[in-house]
Structure 1
């Protein structure tokens, strides 16, 4: 009987430890985000109101961290982000990923109204291209695969066109292959559909 009463207390630290570590990472990430003024472009709570700048609230933490490492190391050529990540440690980049992942996903304040025709065309194309295999059926992403549901439409369209035109590459060429040969109109429809999710 004594062991049964002790069991919950004995196992509690194993469950509390990771949660407390995650909370600490989120707090540290919030401090780095404030210090680097991430909200000026990405929105104070990670929901971007800036054209062509992605929202980060609710984004996959591993994905955010990976992109930040790529900016810091010069593997992605986006000068403002290269400057913003300069001098940050791996731990600080992981903390930023944890912070943005912890924020509730929100809708950009200037999101366009749903165009039923474009939405349906985009849904059919996304299904044909099997976007949900990597980004998951609800398009919320997983690990190093980004959440794209509810992202800024202009950012999505520009990013997909950059992949199509081989102006952008991820850690591999899957996205380049996925959108190869799509027209601007098809990409715009996919972007509209995904942004409305």
Structure 2
């Protein structure tokens, strides 16, 4: 009897893991269908890698971050006109499924990424270290939970986003970013954006 109990105790986690994996696969498939229906690829790229300088790539993004941003768009708490129609009417399930789908895609830098400028890269690295970007975004800048994956993101998008935080024109839930970049010059932000985009 003891052997049987021990055997069941070893098998149960495998079944549980299998069930979780199947549920995740189902969420990804549903998210892919919603992404196709809402034509997300027209702006963010067919496999989540944006070909447009001011539009972020979503491939490999943190699922919880995507979910949160879509809720903010849907509820009108983030004012990005291009996202109003795509987010309109999304259910909570669809929002979570889209997060799961984009998180499942392999991260890749944009095909037109600029060549590394060593001076700007080193300056950006020093600034990112001083500002402790790696505390929230993790040392490799892949993010965690509701903190976005920023490594390899489009440089122009990063620069524009950081300037919007600095200038108080980007609204949402993360006021820590407004404080983190307060007082930075355009040149400093551009250096950080170059460094992060090259990671």
TM-score, normalising length: structure 2: 0.96
> How big is the alpha-carbon RMSD for the aligned residues of Structure 1 and Structure 2?
1.1
Give the whole-Å Cα distance in 2 for the aligned partners of 1:125 and 1:11: 45
Contact 1:169 1:175 in 2 (8 A): no
Supply the distance in 2 between the matched residues of 1:66 and 1:5 (Cα, whole angstroms).
Answer: 41
Structure 1 residues 177 and 7 mapped into 2: Cα distance closer, same or farther (>3 Å)? closer
- Residue among 42, 45, 48 paired with 1:46: 48
Distance 1:66 1:17 in 2: 25
Q: 2 CA distance for matches of 1:108 and 1:2? A: 53
Deviations 1:25-58 (A, max 9, x none): 0000000000001000000000000120000000
Question: Which residue of the partner structure matches residue 161 of structure 1?
Answer: 163
1:5: how far off?
A: 4.5
2:183 is matched with 181
Counterpart in the other structure of 2:126: 124
The alignment of Structure 1 onto Structure 2 pairs a total of residues equal to 197
1:4 CA drift (Å): 4.5
Work out whether 1:138 is the aligned partner of 2:140. yes
Structure 2 match to 1:36: 38
CA deviation vs aligned residue, 1:72-108 (integer Å, no higher than 9, x gap)? 0000111121110111101100000000000000110
TM superposition shift of 1:172: 3.4
Q: Could you say which residue in structure 2 is the equivalent of 1:99?
A: 101
Q: Distance in 2 between matches of 1:24 and 1:114?
A: 39
Contact 1:47–1:107 under 8 Å retained in 2: yes
Match for residue 15 of structure 1 among 7, 14, 17: 17
Q: Secondary structure of 2:134's partner?
A: helix
Query: Do the aligned residues in 2 keep the contact of 1:169 with 1:176 (CA within 8 Å)?
Result: no
Q: Which TM-score applies when normalising by structure 1?
A: 0.96
- 1:67-78 counterparts in 2 under 5 A? 67-78=69-80
Distance in 1 (CA, whole Å) between partners of 2:13 and 2:177 is 44
Cα offset, 1:131, TM superposition: 0.4
